[in-house]
Amino acid sequence: MKHLLSINDLSREDAILILDTAAELSRIADGPMKKLPTLRGRTIVNLFAEDSTRTRISFEAAAKRLSADVINFSAKGSSLSKGESLKDTALTLQAMGADAVVIRHPASGAPTRLAENQWMSGAVINAGDGTHEHPSQALLDAFTIRKHLAKGATDLAGLRVAIVGDILHSRVARSNVLLLTKLGAHVTLIAPPTLLPFGVESWPVSISYDLDSVISNVDVLMMLRIQQERMQERFFPNAREYSRYFGLNRDRMNSMLPNSIVMHPGPMNRGLEITADAADSARSVIVEQVSNGVSVRMAILYLLLAGLPIEGGIN
Amino acid sequence: MSYLLKNGILPNGAKTDLAIQDQLLVSPDALDKNHRIIELDGKQILPGLVDLHTHLREPGFEEAETVATGSLSAVRGGYTAISAMANTSPVADTAGVVEQVFRLGQLTGLCDVFPIGAVTQGLNGEALSEIGAMADSSARVRVFSDDGKCVFDPLIMRRALEYVKKFDGVIAQHAQEPGLTIGAQMNEGEISAQLGLKGWPAVAEEAIIARDVLLAEHTKSRLHICHLTTAGGVEIIRGAKSRGVQVTAEVTPHHLLLTDDYAKNYDPIFKVNPPLRLESDVLALRAGLADGTIDIVATDHAPHSLESKDCEWAEASFGMVGLETALSIVIKTMVETGVMDYLAVADRLSIAPARIGRYETHGQSLEVGKVANLTIVDTAAKWIVDRDLMSTRSKNTPFHGFELPGVVTHTFFNGKLVFGG
Amino acid sequence: MKVVLPAPDISRAIVRIAHEILERYNGAESLTLLGIPTRGAHLANRIALSINAIEGGQVAIGTLDVTMHRDDLRTRSPKALLPTVIPAAGVEDRHVVLIDDVLYSGRTIRAALDALGEIGRPSSVSLAVLIDRGHRELPIRADFVGKNIPTARTEIIKVNLIEVDGSDEVTIAEGGAR
């Protein structure tokens, strides 16, 4: 496997290998070895054409812990913002000798075009493209869920996950639906009808418009961010109505099962989709998701870059 | 130069010889002694193809195509008449611009270039353009369209439909409700949901078609629906025709073959407006073309320079070129599948479009005394589409690498051999 | 295929190595045994049991996976990681004994020394292996050896251990290039 553009690029075994590798790396990171020489001499470029602090820093930390050289290329003030095309940016990176590009881009499919057009020869890792996918987020979410709830199993068989919010515009939701179902979890999507994608009935998930009827029967509640623009675009009347029906507050949280957890990919709109006390509660693993992100991204970089590119599967 | 074409096959299947002299079809005995003999050896003869929907990009966007390069592309595809859409820069909304385009076509001299006039000034959808002036100009415009954009204001559409009656004109509508297609990238369906691309729902097309056939019925005017793409649209047209509404419709070759599956790799060569849709739509469009609900095939030839397709999907321009592959696609999807014969091909690609556009020297019967606009095609031959060998200035064909049936070997325009031989 | 070290000989070798280690370091208090997974870790366990039987007490033991430090990563597909577990006693100021099943080119041990260097600064590092088959490519030697078996590069040495392979024996066979 040369690129990671979508969860569909991974078989179930590939995904579990990433999780297992991340588990060992996070154990190593807790203990003795802070830095590994594995990717010494490799150059990884972070091409972030869309603002993001969290994901970019996470990939940067992951690359550096593997001793790779990191070059950051972000939208503001770069030639990208001055209208340079994606193609020209890629050709420049190729000339600089990038072994891999971690790309976040507002256009769905931009990483795919980068990989298909062969403007550059390195590996392409999708760090979030438009409303399409965010594979490393789904992997770190699955890692977090497995760590808390899988009771030693390598996959997520039988676990019940609810994803709540703007599914229509969420690349995190798309990648999570693909990965969680691949690992055997049962997924329910909860959103107002206006924020569900056309044809979602054909996805391997359950659908509900009613958070209260589902929340006491799930092991994982994953809240998605609602963007302010959605209110201007008239997907629902106003923020109050959205929070009333789909927001996570203390009462809703108290109705959850004893060992269930609350997740959020960040950044959060405290008070809109999630109240402060829910975000900071003992059930919330939101902060841990961030630290798990580095180990998972180290695993991705290692498995994609350390060896030769393989056709069809990592191992 | 005069010609004797020997052993060709007419659209009705009959074997025949045809003689051409001084722009007309003549009786073979009337030919000059030094005429050129062309042995057709069973090739198919069709009346010169007529395209009612071509984007020639001149004036204003000459890097993508010009009247001259577009004409070259046209005759390679067997077209003897093309219709230049008005979304140029400046927009073709005055007699001056349409006369310029008309003149450029005449200077090139390979085929007839009939300008289409804009319905509204600057394509702004707010005020009617100088329809009368364009109709009376030397370009004699009869087809009016804001294509690229929809005439979305129902009052403007009503006025336009009524007004063109004075000039025996027809309004050609690009049916796209703007409010339902803001930022739309591809067909709204399961694939757009998976790919994370904003959807262009079928209802946005059908709602305008339904409104406009009712308006045309009410005003007793001629209406033409550009690039029909949905099964629902075919149904609406069928119903309207059965009630006697004067509506005609066109389908593009790419909508007869391609579906939204092609978007899966985000290759913008497949990005087009209106978008590629579902297999069920393709089948309904073919059935509609076969039974005449859809009157014509029109290419919507839309050249775009390389940089506007060599990028991520959301950045890319909408459109595909089509003049050089149209006939082959029709043969592949309609003749080889047995739903149309060459009489029907002649009707949908020549006779009917000429009638709708009022192009009097095209789409004529292949008889002595008629103007010699002819296309000769070797229906048994196959070819592989190579975008670098095409005559159009732009290379945005979705069919690069496809093997297609039917090779145009000769195109005659006003009795002159303008391609082949 | 030939058996070069049958089960009883393996057990004797382990006991002897345990004695040699204790003799070198005057007991087990300053020792940290680190087995290189997979089979090196199992051998380390057996050596530890032997040491504990002789000395009493519990010698410090752990595992050290070297996958991330290998110098030949680019020549093969990325391998899954095996566990690295450093015992509570750590490696700082300790006598570390690395334990592996076969010593060949020496590159695995070089990687182990690299990995060890990230973890801390032992007082000394020594190496115990069950089989030394020669053909070193780096200046590395074993301090404690079960058996020296000269081999050709085309031969394959396989260490089978009950914990992993179901039986105890070391075999040699003709196999082609390394």
- Asked, for residue C175, whether it belongs to a domain, the answer is no
The answer to whether C68 contacts A315, with C-beta atoms less than 8 Å apart, is: no
Q: What is the pLDDT of residues C137-157, one digit of tens each?
A: 999 999 999 999 999 999 999
The answer to whether A87 contacts B310, with C-beta atoms less than 8 Å apart, is: yes
Judge whether residue A120 has pLDDT over 90.
no
**The pLDDT value given to residue B376:** 98
A27 contacts in chain C (CB < 8 Å): 83-84
The answer to whether B192 contacts A112, with C-beta atoms less than 8 Å apart, is: no
Nearest to C77 among A31, A33, A307 (CB): A307
Residue-level length of chain C: 178
Domains of chain A: 7-134+292-305 (3.40.50.1370), 135-289 (3.40.50.1370)
Judge whether residue A78 has pLDDT over 80.
no
The DSSP code for A16 is H
- Give every CB contact of residue B403 below 8 A, 6+ residues apart in sequence: B382, B383, B384, B385
The answer to whether A38 contacts C69, with C-beta atoms less than 8 Å apart, is: yes
Stretch C94-101: mean pLDDT, rounded? Answer: 98
- Asked, for residue C93, whether it belongs to a domain, the answer is yes
Query: Do the beta carbons of residue C43 and residue A267 sit within 8 Å?
Result: no
**Total structural domains in chain C?**
1
**The pLDDT value given to residue A81:** 61
Find, among A113, A24, A98, A27, the residue nearest to A63 by Cα. Answer: A98
The answer to whether A106 contacts B199, with C-beta atoms less than 8 Å apart, is: no
Find, among A255, A252, A258, the residue nearest to A282 by Cα. Answer: A258
Structure tokens at C4: 């070069």
Give contacts of C 41-70 with A, CB under 8 A.
Answer: 65, 68-69
Q: What is the pLDDT of residues B2-25, one digit of tens each?
A: 999 999 999 999 999 999 999 999
Does any CB of chain C come closer than 8 Å to the CB of residue A16? Answer: no
**The pLDDT value given to residue A97:** 84
Instruction: Find the CATH number of the domain harbouring C30.
Output: 3.40.50.2020
* Domain extent for C46: 8-69+82-153
Judge whether residue B209 has pLDDT over 90.
yes
For A25, what's the count of Cα atoms within 13 Å in the CB-facing half-sphere?
A: 30
Percentage helix, strand, coil for chain A under 3-state DSSP, each rounded to 5: 40, 15, 40
Find, among B417, B37, B358, the residue nearest to B170 by Cα. Answer: B358
DSSP-assigned beta bridge partners for residue C96: C32, C125
Instruction: Describe the crossing of helices A86-95 and A110-117 by its angle, rounded to 10 degrees.
Output: 50
The answer to whether A171 contacts B312, with C-beta atoms less than 8 Å apart, is: no
**The pLDDT value given to residue A266:** 86
Does any CB of chain C come closer than 8 Å to the CB of residue A312? Answer: no
- Asked, for residue C144, whether it belongs to a domain, the answer is yes
Q: What is the pLDDT of residues B45-99, one digit of tens each?
A: 999 999 999 999 999 999 999 999 999 999 999 999 999 999 999 999 999 999 9
Does any CB of chain A come closer than 8 Å to the CB of residue C88? Answer: no
Find, among B398, B401, B409, B255, the residue nearest to B333 by Cα. Answer: B255
**The pLDDT value given to residue A271:** 86
Structure tokens at C80: 């899954």
Judge whether residue C81 has pLDDT over 60.
yes
- Asked, for residue C3, whether it belongs to a domain, the answer is no
- Give every CB contact of residue B395 below 8 A, 6+ residues apart in sequence: B306, B321, B387, B388
What's the gap in Å between the CA of A28 and the closest CA on chain C?
7
What's the gap in Å between the CA of A124 and the closest CA on chain B?
15
Residue B350 to residue B347: CA distance in whole angstroms? 6
B403-413/B374-384 β-pairing: antiparallel
Strand order in the sheet with B79-84: B49-50, B79-84, B112-115
Residue B111 to residue B61: CA distance in whole angstroms? 21
B112-115/B79-84 β-pairing: parallel
Residue linked to tokens 């309904």: B284
| Phi (first) and psi of residue B66, to 5 degrees | -130, 175
Distance from first CA to last CA of chain C, Å, rounded?
17
- Burial group, residue C178, by CB count within 10 angstroms (0-12, 13-18, 19+): exposed
Question: At C78, which amino acid appears?
Answer: P
Q: What is the pLDDT of residues A257-272, one digit of tens each?
A: 999 999 999 889 888 8
Does any CB of chain A come closer than 8 Å to the CB of residue B312? Answer: yes
Stretch B387-403: mean pLDDT, rounded? Answer: 96
- Asked, for residue C122, whether it belongs to a domain, the answer is yes
Residue A308 to residue C73: CA distance in whole angstroms? 8
Query: Do the beta carbons of residue C91 and residue C122 sit within 8 Å?
Result: yes
Chain-wide mean pLDDT for chain B?
Answer: 97
Cis peptide before B178 (omega within 30 of 0): no
A220-223/B15-21 β-pairing: unpaired
Chain-wide mean pLDDT for chain C?
Answer: 94
> Across A158-281, where does the E strand assignment appear?
160-164, 186-190, 206-208, 220-223, 261-263
Q: Which of A39-53, A239-253, B200-214 has the lowest mean pLDDT?
A: A39-53
Nearest CA in chain A to B187: A198
Largest CA distance in chain B: 67
- Give every CB contact of residue A234 below 8 A, 6+ residues apart in sequence: none
3-state secondary structure of A123: strand
Judge whether residue C176 has pLDDT over 90.
no
- Give every CB contact of residue B231 below 8 A, 6+ residues apart in sequence: B280, B281, B283, B284, B285
- Asked, for residue C1, whether it belongs to a domain, the answer is no
Residue C55 to residue C70: CA distance in whole angstroms? 35
Per-residue pLDDT band at C177 (split at 50, 70, 90): low
Instruction: Describe the crossing of helices A54-65 and A135-149 by its angle, rounded to 10 degrees.
Output: 80
Beta carbon pairs, A and B, within 8 Å: 68
Q: Which helix (H) or strand (E) holds C144?
A: strand C144-148
Q: Which of A242-251, A306-315, C30-39 has the lowest mean pLDDT?
A: A306-315
Residue A158 to residue B142: CA distance in whole angstroms? 67
A107 contacts in chain B (CB < 8 Å): 312-315
| Complex confidence, ipTM | 0.87
- Give every CB contact of residue B50 below 8 A, 6+ residues apart in sequence: B79, B80, B81, B82, B349, B350, B353, B354, B357, B359, B362, B363
The answer to whether B196 contacts A200, with C-beta atoms less than 8 Å apart, is: no
- Burial string for C162-177 (b: 16+ CB within 10 Å, else e) reads eeeeeebbbebeeeee
Per-residue pLDDT band at A74 (split at 50, 70, 90): confident
Nearest to A171 among B196, B201, B313 (CB): B196
Question: At B291, which amino acid appears?
Answer: D
Give contacts of A 239-268 with C, CB under 8 A.
Answer: none
Question: At A274, which amino acid appears?
Answer: I
Q: Which of A132, A198, A235 to mutate to test the interface with B (most CBs of B within 10 A)?
A: A198
Residue A296 to residue A315: CA distance in whole angstroms? 17
pTM of the model: 0.90
Residue B410 to residue B375: CA distance in whole angstroms? 6
- Asked, for residue C160, whether it belongs to a domain, the answer is no
- Asked, for residue C164, whether it belongs to a domain, the answer is no
Nearest to C77 among A24, A33, A308 (CB): A308
Judge whether residue A153 has pLDDT over 70.
yes
What's the gap in Å between the CA of B172 and the closest CA on chain A?
30
- Asked if B touches C (at least 3 Cβ pairs < 8 angstroms), the answer reads no
Residue from B300, B310, B341, B386 carrying the catalytic annotation: B300
Contacts 24+ apart (CB under 8 A), C90-94: C90/C32, C90/C119, C90/C120, C91/C32, C91/C34, C91/C116, C91/C119, C91/C120, C91/C121, C91/C122, C92/C120, C92/C121, C92/C122, C93/C121, C93/C122, C93/C123, C94/C30, C94/C31, C94/C32, C94/C60, C94/C122, C94/C123
Stretch B344-363: mean pLDDT, rounded? Answer: 97
Residues of A engaging B, defined by a Cβ cutoff of 8 Å:
85-87, 105-110, 112-113, 116-117, 129-133, 171, 174, 197-200, 202
- Give every CB contact of residue C14 below 8 A, 6+ residues apart in sequence: C43, C46, C47, C50, C130, C146
**Domain B48-363 bears CATH identifier 3.40.50.720:** no
B300 is catalytic: yes
DSSP per residue, C85-115: B--TT-STTSEEEEEEEEESSSHHHHHHHHH
| Phi (first) and psi of residue C150, to 5 degrees | -65, 135
For residue B217, the Cα-to-chain-centroid distance in whole angstroms is 25
Q: What is the pLDDT of residues B175-206, one digit of tens each?
A: 999 999 999 999 999 999 999 999 999 999 99
